Amino acid sequence: MSDVVDFKLPEDALCAALRERGQRVTPQRLTIARVVRELDTHVTAEQVLTAVSDRLPGVSLPTVYATLDLLEELGSVRRVSAGGGAILYDPRTHPHHHVVCTRCGRVTDIEAPVDEAALIAAARAAGYDPERADTVVHGVCAPCRS
Ligand SMILES: [Zn+2]
Ligand SMILES: [Zn+2]
């Protein structure tokens, strides 16, 4: 497992993490990382592409995906599978859980004590090599109910 890089640290932390992995520090990678941080919410690769297109003209969706995957490997973003199909990337890398609207797909962070060790143990008992546990609650959000 890699050291967790605190996303809120200055950009040189990301540069150091890239170099440690033998990855090049490119303006493209730094810009995509910065944009995800600025968006400060759960975003799809398509949303990141839209947000960076001013600053990185001509950047492609596969490049954005590849960069987000690299950032995830480095611990700069977390991938959230909220069950709605699209993969979301989360700039908040501290352990937390999510609640997802079953109508509009809105994703909100929630903090609650969860026995992650028990989940991990159960996954191991099922024959998996668990990496982490996060919990998704499904329900209808307030705007959708009103
Ligand atoms: Zn909703
Ligand atoms: Zn989150």
Which domain, by its residues, includes 76?
A: 11-80
Assess if residue 86 is contained within a domain: no
Closest CA to 83 of 65, 61, 99, 63: 99
In which band, very low, low, confident or very high, does the pLDDT at 120 lie, cut at 50, 70 and 90? very high
CATH for 58:
1.10.10.10
Q: What is the pairing mode between strands 136-139 and 88-90?
A: unpaired
Say whether both 122 and 74 belong to one domain: no
Mean pLDDT of the chain: 87
Ligand nearest to the CA of 142: 1
**44-69 pLDDT per residue, tens:** 999 999 999 999 999 999 999 999 99
**What's the 37 CA to ligand 2 centre distance in angstroms?**
12
Query: How many angstroms separate the Cα of 39 from the Cα of each of 11, 36, 58, 87, 122?
Result: 16, 5, 20, 16, 35
**What's the 45 CA to ligand 1 centre distance in angstroms?**
21
Assess if residue 59 is contained within a domain: yes
Assess if residue 106 is contained within a domain: yes
Query: Is there a contact between 89 and 80 (Cβ–Cβ < 8 Å)?
Result: yes
Task: Count how many domains the chain has.
Answer: 2
**What's the 111 CA to ligand 2 centre distance in angstroms?**
10
